[in-house]
Amino acid sequence: MHYAPLAGQRAAALGAHREAAAHYARVLRFVDRLPESEQVELLERAHIEFHLIHELNAAADCGRRLVALHSARGISWLPVACCRPWHTCCGRSVASVRPGKQPRVGAHPGGTSTERRACRAYAYATELSVFTHDALAAERYTKSALALTERLSLPDVEAWVRFFDTAHRVLRTDDGWAELSRIRDHVVANGWLAHIPG
């Protein structure tokens, strides 16, 4: 319970995403024993690693557990943004899933934890909308994510969103390869590679 999450974080930082996912999988069996805040952090980290190694069912399961945790706290927009595309990728349909509201952005320096989570949720939704070829959703989520990255000064998330927004344009028009390469070089130079395909 103590060392597996730490090993997962270390493996992820080194780019060993399969190893990280394996460490997280070990502790996920006992996640209910952790305090709620630690459950959320562990599930979010595991979600990323399962996504990166294309274990979509495991990623979707993390998403469902996040839905339950956030719903119990009265937060609906975060899991909706993250989990709807995962169910699509896994060949599942989701009834009555609607994008949540944009969180109110205040004057808190660096944003509140809720705002930062919202920003990352929109970034996930941008990426996954690209994977599911949902152009309207990708455009909507990109706009929401970039508005928050600017407000919250999250350059790594901004680069993540711009990479997939540009990748979507490349897929549709075959234009933007040079820009995509520049974004990737910027990401690599800053060590933000976790969310960008190799």
The SS3 call for residue 178 is: helix
- State the pLDDT at residue 40: 87
Segment holding 144, helix H or strand E: helix 135-152
- State the pLDDT at residue 100: 45
Each residue's pLDDT expressed in tens, for the chain with a length of 198 residues: 999 999 999 998 888 999 999 999 999 999 999 998 899 889 988 988 898 888 888 988 888 888 788 777 665 544 443 444 444 444 443 333 344 444 444 444 455 777 888 888 888 888 888 888 888 989 999 999 999 999 999 999 999 999 999 999 998 999 999 999 999 899 888 888 766 655
- State the pLDDT at residue 90: 47
- State the pLDDT at residue 67: 79
Q: Which tokens go with 187?
A: 């990401």
For 11-49, the three-class secondary structure string (H helix, E strand, C coil) is HHHCCCHHHHHHHHHHHHCCHHHCCHHHHHHHHHHHHHH
Q: Which tokens go with 178?
A: 């040079």
pTM (two decimals): 0.54
- State the pLDDT at residue 111: 59
In DSSP notation, 79-107 reads HHHHHHHHHHHTT---TT----PPPPP-S
- State the pLDDT at residue 169: 92
- State the pLDDT at residue 103: 44
- State the pLDDT at residue 29: 94
- Would you give the DSSP letter of residue 132? T
- State the pLDDT at residue 2: 92
